[in-house]
Amino acid sequence: METSRFTLPFLLLSFSFFLSLSAQMTGNFKCGGTPSTCISLVGYSSKNATTLRNIQTLFAVKNLRTILGANNLPLNTSRDQRVNPDQVIRIPIRCSCSNGTGISNRVPEYTVKKGDDLYFIASQLFGGLTRDQRIAEVNKIPDPALIQPGQKFWIPLPCSCDKLNGQDVVHYAHVVKQGSSLGEIAALFGTDNTTLAQLNGISGDPQLLADLPLNVPLRACSSSVRNDSLDASMLLSNNSYLFTANNCVKCSCDASKNWTLSCQPSSELKPSNWTTCPPSRCEGAESLFLGNTTSGSCGPRTCAYAGYSNSSILTTLSPTCPDSAGPAGSGNYASTFRSSFNIVMVLIQCALLCLYLL
């Protein structure tokens, strides 16, 4: 079998790699704390030329626009758009965290074809994003050498929902290329080698193993989305977009816009669930709409997206004005109203009293 080809020096070499890279060798991503779900990214490159359609099918992505948005490709890009070998396509996946590990939740599913083995499926078809042992483990395959055409497996993809030093990040599974270093990868994704080493449990100055996924934290744009919104966990990394609020709002993240999420009303897609998109007037500044900017005593402020509910699109003026700005708060209007109401009541009571006295 395979092992008969190993020589002793090779075994020793593998063993020392295993020691220094043990955490990374598993290809698992840490995802700690309470069980949670989120959207995470994987970077896929096909060994042969392919199309966006094939990639969408392979990863069981419901809407092509999800892939287009993650790669900042125009919405009218064709499904049959060619993807060259080694071109990297970012694919958003739903991540599920439990027992300290993040993993795609029982998707995508793959049906074994004639001539496939688990190693080919993991390292070739899925571009090294998973490992044959992981597929065997999660599918409880008794003998990985004996798989039959027609059998269905789910492919565990690595992912994470963890914050990084308290900050929201989008985790990206980057398949390491032969000969690349932590420093190079860090520079490519706007992070640093210490962060990468820590996150992936790598110590020393190792030679990275090719064709294994590395957990890369991508900075996310800050947003004003409320934690009770139906899209509360939405996060975007640089140079990507998505549609939300039943397709009525398009949000994008552009690092050059101060890492702030930018959202506009959109009519590019048919609304889902709503027959028409509700208006997106700005709460507290009714002459403004979502995406408009105004300048006032607090400097320039934008009518920012704050999420959505079953019936409406939520907005907020951002950044928020400091409270010290004076009598503009709604609390003040209410108390003004209440005191004038009291004066009216006193006058009425006085008038009644006067009538009575007469």
Closest CB to ligand NAG among 120 and 337?
A: 120
Q: Which helix (H) or strand (E) holds 306?
A: strand 299-308
When asked if residue 258 is in the footprint of ligand NAG (CB under 6 A), the reply is yes
Binding segment for ligand NAG (CB under 6 A), chosen from 1-9, 188-196, 331-339, 348-356, is 188-196
Which of helix, strand or coil describes residue 342?
helix
When asked if residue 34 is in the footprint of ligand NAG (CB under 6 A), the reply is no
Binding to ligand NAG in span 223-242, by CB under 6 A: 227, 230, 238-239
Question: Which residues are CB-neighbours of 188 under 8 A, at least 6 positions away?
Answer: none
Closest CB to ligand NAG among 7 and 297?
A: 297
When asked if residue 249 is in the footprint of ligand NAG (CB under 6 A), the reply is no
User: Could you say which of 188, 255, 325, 345 contacts ligand NAG (CB under 6 A)?
Assistant: 255
Closest CB to ligand NAG among 47 and 270?
A: 47
When asked if residue 295 is in the footprint of ligand NAG (CB under 6 A), the reply is no
- Residue 229 carries which DSSP code? S
Binding to ligand NAG in span 41-60, by CB under 6 A: 47-48
User: Rounded CA gap, 156 and 87, in Å?
Assistant: 22
Question: Which residues are CB-neighbours of 45 under 8 A, at least 6 positions away?
Answer: 85, 86, 87, 88, 89, 127, 175
Q: Which two tokens stand for residue 8?
A: 């002793």
Q: Which two tokens stand for residue 134?
A: 């992981």
User: Rounded CA gap, 213 and 219, in Å?
Assistant: 18
Closest CB to ligand NAG among 173 and 221?
A: 221
User: Rounded CA gap, 40 and 90, in Å?
Assistant: 10
Which of helix, strand or coil describes residue 332?
helix
Closest CB to ligand NAG among 105 and 144?
A: 105
When asked if residue 20 is in the footprint of ligand NAG (CB under 6 A), the reply is no
Residue 66 CB-half CA count within 13 A: 18
Closest CB to ligand NAG among 149 and 183?
A: 183
Write down how long the chain is.
Answer: 358
When asked if residue 267 is in the footprint of ligand NAG (CB under 6 A), the reply is no
Binding to ligand NAG in span 313-352, by CB under 6 A: none
Tell the smallest beta-carbon distance from residue 10 to ligand NAG (Å).
25
Contact 70, 253 (CB under 8 A): no
User: Rounded CA gap, 134 and 25, in Å?
Assistant: 12
Q: Are strands 109-111 and 152-154 parallel, antiparallel or unpaired?
A: antiparallel
When asked if residue 11 is in the footprint of ligand NAG (CB under 6 A), the reply is no
User: Could you say which of 144, 201, 265, 284 contacts ligand NAG (CB under 6 A)?
Assistant: 265
When asked if residue 210 is in the footprint of ligand NAG (CB under 6 A), the reply is no
User: Could you say which of 3, 34, 76, 148 contacts ligand NAG (CB under 6 A)?
Assistant: 76
When asked if residue 99 is in the footprint of ligand NAG (CB under 6 A), the reply is yes
Residue 178 CB-half CA count within 13 A: 1
Binding segment for ligand NAG (CB under 6 A), chosen from 8-16, 53-61, 145-153, 288-296, is 288-296
Dihedral class, residue 60 (left if φ above 0, else alpha if ψ from -120 to 50, else beta): left
When asked if residue 222 is in the footprint of ligand NAG (CB under 6 A), the reply is yes
Q: What is the DSSP string of 141-181?
A: -S-TT---TT-EEE-PPB-----BTTB-EEEEEEEPPTT--
Site of interaction with ligand NAG (CB under 6 A): 47-48, 74, 76, 98-99, 124-125, 182-183, 190, 193-194, 197, 205, 222, 227, 230, 238-239, 255, 258, 264-265, 272-273, 289, 291-292, 310
